[in-house]
Structure 1
Amino acid sequence: MTDRNVSRGRSNRRRSRWGAVCAGLGLSTAVALQGVAAASGPPAPPRPQGRILDTPAALAGGLLHPDAPPAGANDWSCRPTREHPRPVVLLHGSAANAFNNWSMLSPWLKQQGYCVFAPNYGGVPGSPFQATGPIADSARQIAAYVDRVRKATGARQVDLVGHSQGGGPAPRWYLRFEGGTNPAHPKRNKVRSLIALAPSNHGSNVSGIGTVTTKLGLNPTVSAVVGQAWSDQMVGSEMNKKLDRDGDTQPGVRYTVIATRYDEGATPYQNNFLTAGPGATVRNILIQEICPQDVSDHLSLAYDTNAAQLVSNALDPAHAQPVRCGLSLPVLGG
């Protein structure tokens, strides 16, 4: 064999070896990339679209169209998915309605794939000022609505997200007294989670106004004008005494409370927080401890994108995302 043939044979063998090495590297890279893609899972949902003036716009819309549901809510043909097996029921606060309370959070949760429902309750149909009646009556309306949602969707349980009264005494009364839970058999509960924004859990003094009306015996007079929900939510009311008598929580329910230091409605804000009883879990969050620049007040906490991410995390703890803290303002949100 000539030297040229020997050299050509060696060169061919070297090319074959390099080809095998490159092919191996390519295969390893492809496998690695597939592993990264599998580990990363589906992309995180986009940040909720919080914009200055969203809150005033929603308030105006709620006055003009008080019976309209917020975008994304009340699709009675919606069926829960494996990723989001429980419908979300949004419960507005006192003297509010579903439209003006949930026009940011409702479409965002719908975008994530939840079946979202938002009733008006506790007021005269057609009035923009709902959740003004007795707490016990409101709780019975919530009970009927949850049963309707469960029947329509086929879901065994729902998650509740509420603001102010809708995160505090109204759903807690429903859980304790109107069939929302089954303490003897918590797996039969109709509700898995209660997530509350600025809830009036242990009564409010409304920045001291309620203290004055209580001491002067004026709560019945005020309630005759604005509704029984005023008296029911005052610190030390008979409703609060009955609701708190056997503890704050019900077995089998996950509770999350999101409060703001700048609350002027459900005050003092420490009254928002709950204490876990047997079989329940509670996470109390002061939003300024997560986002120090957040200055949301009682109203704008429902239009606070930082709080919205905390709500999403509480609904789906296994896929919680970091809160990308942004500025949120009193009244305006952000």
Structure 2
Amino acid sequence: MRRTIGLLGAALLLILTGAALAGPAAAAPLPEDYNFFGGIPYELAHPGGDLPGSNDWTCKPSAQHPRPVILVHGTGGAKTTNWGSYAPMLANRGYCVYALTYGALPGLPWPFTAVGGMDRQEVSARQLARFVDKVRSSTGAQTVDLVGHSQGTYMPTYYLKYLGGADKVTNYVSLAPLWRGTGAFGPESKALGQALGDVPMPFCVGCGGMLPGSPMHKKIWAGGSPYVRGVAYTNIATRYDEMVVPYTSGLVPGRRGETVRNIVVQDTCAQDYSDHMAIAGSRRAAYMVLNALDPEHPVTVPCEFTPPFTG
């Protein structure tokens, strides 16, 4: 009997020692839902909350991923609703990932607090500036990488050019960019931008700033280019963009001294039917973003059917 107890004790000791040496069990990866609407259920269940994997203020960047990634949503989006695909994907791969809701009109209750990109873009850019400084202070990183969608590809330029952001950003990755402005109103878009681009619109106060010819558009293009030297740009566009018209508005080539890569998702995959929204929920486009953030360790970008609207 004593011998049996002794053997059991020795076995238990070996098991506990092995567990101690092995360390804590690795956390299960977060589920990755490649769907533009994937973040909406979380916002509904946790109003004003942060997507799992995002806004961990204890996160410290690793040697492999030394810069935190900040997700900048589009018009009408939020830190949750726009990034259901990206927060878990980046966190699972070891990035410190952050997201803010900018430009929500002040004084309104939820759910309007989760409808961002509605204020003047100068206001939104100041909010982004404060958020970047908070992320840099928390992580100790000198610079951050930006991943934007729609307005989130455009407004940050004001931050870089006028609010001191140029030295704080390394990679600027854009989904459905609109550097030349949205021509969704056809040939009259520029005239509308010149006439109404600085006029507060109902609810979407700053949306006129995205029209070509608007005062904001002129500020974005100050110096003859929307780009800032020293920042690496990747523009990821879709031929089926119904908001950025023509889609080539987002494919501005870089000038001497500017680092710019332009990608059209259909160029290497005819099965990709991403539109303006779907490109931010597409696994294919998301893997292109991964490669833009870490070109030294590329992942294989799948060619698969990508439906419009959802991605």
TM-score bracket, shorter-length normalisation: 0.7 to 0.9
Q: 1:265 to 1:62 in 2, by over 3 A?
A: farther
| CA RMSD of superposed structures (Å) | 2.4
Unaligned runs of 5+ in 2: 1-28
2:222 maps to 245
User: Which region of structure 1 is more displaced relative to structure 2, 196-205 or 113-122?
Assistant: 196-205
1:274 maps to 252
Corresponding position: 1:172 with 2:157: yes
SS at match of 2:211: coil
SS at match of 2:267: helix
Corresponding position: 1:214 with 2:186: no
Cα displacement string for residues 187-222 of structure 1 (whole angstroms, at most 9, x for unaligned residues):
xx210010000022221023649739928966677x
Q: Deviation of residue 177 (structure 1)?
A: 0.8
2:131 maps to 145
Say which of 112, 117, 129 aligns to 1:131: 117
- The residue type equivalent to 2:164 in the other structure is G
Unaligned runs of 5+ in 1: 1-45, 182-188
Q: 1:230 to 1:151 in 2, by over 3 A?
A: same
- Bigger Rg over Cα: 1
Say which of 149, 153, 157 aligns to 1:163: 149
User: Which region of structure 1 is more displaced relative to structure 2, 201-210 or 238-247?
Assistant: 201-210
Q: Deviation of residue 244 (structure 1)?
A: 0.6
Q: 1:197 to 1:84 in 2, by over 3 A?
A: same
- Equivalent-residue separation in structure 1 for 2:37 and 2:230 (angstroms): 37
Cα displacement string for residues 33-84 of structure 1 (whole angstroms, at most 9, x for unaligned residues):
xxxxxxxxxxxxx9x9445xx4345345446655222221000000000000
- Equivalent-residue separation in structure 1 for 2:178 and 2:257 (angstroms): 23
1:327 maps to 305
Instruction: State, as a whole percentage, how many aligned pairs show the same letter.
Output: 40
Q: 1:287 to 1:118 in 2, by over 3 A?
A: same
User: Which region of structure 1 is more displaced relative to structure 2, 244-253 or 72-81?
Assistant: 244-253
2:209 maps to 232
Kept in 1: contact 2:194–2:215 (CA 8 A):
no
2:234 maps to 256
Aligned pairs for 1:27-42 (under 5 A) are none
Kept in 1: contact 2:67–2:145 (CA 8 A):
yes
SS at match of 2:296: helix
Kept in 1: contact 2:194–2:213 (CA 8 A):
no
Kept in 1: contact 2:38–2:85 (CA 8 A):
no
- The residue type equivalent to 1:302 in the other structure is A
SS at match of 2:236: strand
Kept in 1: contact 2:36–2:281 (CA 8 A):
yes
Aligned pairs for 1:63-142 (under 5 A) are 65-124=46-105, 126=110, 127-142=113-128
- The residue type equivalent to 2:73 in the other structure is H
Corresponding position: 1:302 with 2:287: no
Q: 1:215 to 1:305 in 2, by over 3 A?
A: closer
User: Which region of structure 1 is more displaced relative to structure 2, 323-332 or 306-315?
Assistant: 323-332
Kept in 1: contact 2:172–2:233 (CA 8 A):
yes
Q: 1:237 to 1:213 in 2, by over 3 A?
A: closer
- The residue type equivalent to 1:146 in the other structure is V
Q: 1:330 to 1:267 in 2, by over 3 A?
A: same
1:312 maps to 290
SS at match of 2:263: strand
SS at match of 1:255: strand
- The residue type equivalent to 1:167 in the other structure is T
Q: 1:62 to 1:213 in 2, by over 3 A?
A: farther
TM-score, normalised to structure 1, is 0.76
Kept in 1: contact 2:197–2:215 (CA 8 A):
no
- Equivalent-residue separation in structure 2 for 1:255 and 1:94 (angstroms): 21
TM-score, normalised to structure 2, is 0.82
SS at match of 1:203: coil
- The residue type equivalent to 1:120 in the other structure is T
SS at match of 2:234: strand
Q: Deviation of residue 235 (structure 1)?
A: 1.7
